[in-house]
Amino acid sequence: MTWKELKNRIEKMPADEQEKTVTVWAEEEPIRDAVLSRCTEDLYGNNEWDLTLYKSDLEEEELNDTGTYLIARKGRYYLDFE
């Protein structure tokens, strides 16, 4: 879904629903409050990690590990958990 598609769906919601807190589905906690966030730098994951890390938090060998992959570039918007 694009941000534009999301905007269009929100506009079709009843007005009272649009005033409610944004929530998202999560594995650990089924419904959680969310906020619109933006990556301040490139964000990476790895097949052996259970978290994501910004590039500045990675050692050179971690960044070059074959299991390390780019999740989001700096400036990308996303919904984050509060």
Structure tokens at 70: 């780019």
Q: What is the pLDDT of residue 16?
A: 96
| DSSP single-letter state for residue 59 | -
Pairing of strands 68-72, 43-46: antiparallel
Question: Which residue matches tokens 């992959």?
Answer: 69
Q: What is the pLDDT of residue 82?
A: 76
- C-alpha–C-alpha distance, residues 81 and 68, integer Å: 23
Span 12-70, pLDDT tens digits: 999 999 999 998 887 777 788 899 999 999 999 999 999 999 999 999 999 999 999 99
- C-alpha–C-alpha distance, residues 77 and 38, integer Å: 4
Domain boundaries, the chain: 3-81
One-letter amino acid identity for 47? N
Closest CA relative to residue 76, chosen from 39, 34, 36: 39
